[in-house]
Structure 1
Amino acid sequence: MIQEQKAIAIIEKLTYDAVAERYDSQVFTAAETGADFKKASDKLKNHIYDYAILDSQVERDFVRDLDTSTEVVVYSKLPRGFLIPTPVGDYNPDWAIAFKEGDIKHLYFVAETKSDQPSMKMRELEQTKIKCARKFFDEIGRMINEDRVRYDVVTSYADLMALVKQAA
């Protein structure tokens, strides 16, 4: 209980500052060797690769909808090497998604997919990391005037589109 309260206090004061470091495009392949291709999707058309390794049925449904969407230009399951530092350990969001211009404003979205089933409730540690990620992406949003990056937790493609249209 003391550790939990300590983490809450740290997160309330947490700030992220810009640094000169950037991810190289190799982040998408370096940590992916040895992936379990039994969890691979069917062949994809809008993903940066032909296949994605999926962790759950929620992700499988999400990919199906992303791949057939007319609003999505390109998307990627973020690799294990793409990490956001937090006080309670590194955090790896699930998805990066770019939408086309037109009816929907050109928007970059980072999403975390979670089941809405009660048995799949997020552990406290994961909830804490997500709070930190919100602060991280809010800070990026303050630094960038165009092509802002949004972040949120969604349970489906419909949830994602509701958030995207709200942001447009």
Structure 2
Amino acid sequence: MKLHFAIALLILFVSCKGNAQKKEMTSSSIDKYKKEFPVQKTNSEWRKELTDAEYYVLREAATENPFTSELLKNKEKGTYVCAACATPLFKSYTKFDSGTGWPSFYEEIEGNVAYDVDYKIGYKRTEEHCATCGGHLGHVFEDGPAPTGLRHCINGVALNFVPAE
């Protein structure tokens, strides 16, 4: 009887797949897969062109501190573009105050934002990148306002603002 119990317990442990293992495998497979973007530069080229804060967020996928972006309270009409390559990413009329401390938009400019999945903080999130240079922008969540229900939570340092003419 004890032998049957021990064998059943062994089979249970061997066949069990934990979430941590699954996440690790998914995360490592994403890390190994490097996308090609139209604008390709070396790290040293990016370092020469970007400020330290821009490089840290755009090239190393960091997050700026909340409520520190100069663009957070901007209410002017215009377009938010990638700070690295000037690709238009978000129109000002899609910006809203999410209360999170980062500029938030309910809609991107179609085709100019690329998406990926990350598990960097232990759970699945949809990460956003500039579709032209691959720069890390932030994450998109499904708790935004109508009409899309999305909240593109973007690091302000990853953006530049171009006022409407």
Tell me if both proteins adopt one fold, taking TM over 0.5 as the criterion: no
- As a proportion of its length, which structure holds more strand? 2
- As a proportion of its length, which structure holds more helix? 1
TM-score, with length taken from structure 2: 0.27
TM-score, with length taken from structure 1: 0.26
Q: Which has the higher contact order (CA 8 A, sep 6+)?
A: 2
